[in-house]
Copies of this chain bind each other. A is one copy, B any other.
């Protein structure tokens, strides 16, 4: 007998038929003598519908009330799934954000789960009851409804797995696991059986949108074993572990990720003195501009330097405007390229495998792909290239690192 948290995403509960299917998955797990806590998302499309309705009223909709609005979506799924489980003859009960309660802190639309009461739910589990909990939401200390950001149902599932000390947390979704690259674009992409939290984080934050990155991070912090699997097939999923356990390091590179809609900005000949980076990036952060890679070249003249960074394409105009009005920095010029993408190879084994870096640069050169910027970490190597070269680069790297 294990205590399991099973999380079902929006497409997994997108229609009544799918909810009935999910009820059967839960039934099987229950009959295998497991204690089940199911965490559910809103039916697919629902959250977007509600946001659309709010936008018809205001582009700057009252945030407190937007959380009241959006949280209704998961409530509906909870009730429908509970009804479906009852129909299968199972004992079950939905517990809403305020009934548990799921206590959060932080602002509306972007809260974090900090605690929840476990006594009553554990009692119900011990009586063979199946517990159903809405993802994505909680309440504040003041008793307001809060939500925890898009994709937040993953974070709810992991928080519940942690707080209830569950044996495993299974993320049921519409793909059957984590792939070595995007299987829709690169048909030779292969499913990864086991992956470390670190690698998963690098892959997910780089556009392999299987799980919400902050949920993976929480799982890593508390060493909660995750499994990503498909609601619609019986195939094995991808297990996400601590790096030390059972990971196959015979391959140096686990996956190739890429992001779209990036832009690169370079500030030329910035006066190179302490605090200059802070002076540049603080106003950007205050204006909610998310800076991804930052590369600072060594100054040639010891007094000035060039700073390059990447942002989302939509933020280019706003960013340049902020830079031009920033009186705390001096520079010669600003240039930008808003047609770039980032391609990364990820692998926990990279650090112990010599030549990975060289191999990547050589293979891109062989394809005549110009590298505009480079950034590296322990388990990741990213390059910025022209957007048009993205798929060519991903295919080449996937092949060269024996992932096909």
Residue numbers of A with Cβ under 8 A of B are 16, 19-20, 50, 53-54, 56-58, 61-62, 64-66, 68-69, 71-72, 75-76, 78-80, 82-84, 86-87, 93-94, 96, 98-99, 143, 145
Contacts and interface: CB of A to CB of B under 8 A. Distances in A.
A44 to B, nearest CB: 14
The binding surface of chain A is classed by DSSP as helix
A56 B43 CA distance: 15
Contact of A83 (B19, B20, B57, B71): B57
14 contacts: A53-B80, A57-B83, A57-B84, A58-B84, A61-B86, A62-B82, A62-B86, A62-B87, A64-B82, A65-B83, A68-B82, A68-B94, A71-B75, A98-B98
Which of A19, A20, A62, A143 has the most chain B CB atoms closer than 10 A to its own CB?
A: A62
B66 A83 contact: yes
Contact of A65 (B54, B79, B98): B79
B75 A87 contact: no
B72 A76 contact: yes
Contacts of A20: 57
Contacts of A62: 82-83, 86-87
A145 B76 CA distance: 13
Which of A19, A57, A78, A84 has the most chain B CB atoms closer than 10 A to its own CB?
A: A57
B98 A76 contact: no
Contacts of A19: 57
A80 B96 contact: no
Closest CB pairs A-B (n = 9): A69-B79, A68-B79, A62-B86, A65-B82, A58-B87, A72-B72, A16-B56, A65-B79, A61-B83
B75 A57 contact: no
A76 B69 contact: yes
Contacts of A80: 53-54, 57, 65, 69
Nearest to A132: B65
Given A20-B57, A57-B19, A99-B143, A64 B76 contact: no
Contacts of A58: 83-84, 86-87
Contacts of A98: 98-99
Contacts of A68: 75, 78-79, 82, 94, 96
A57 B16 contact: yes
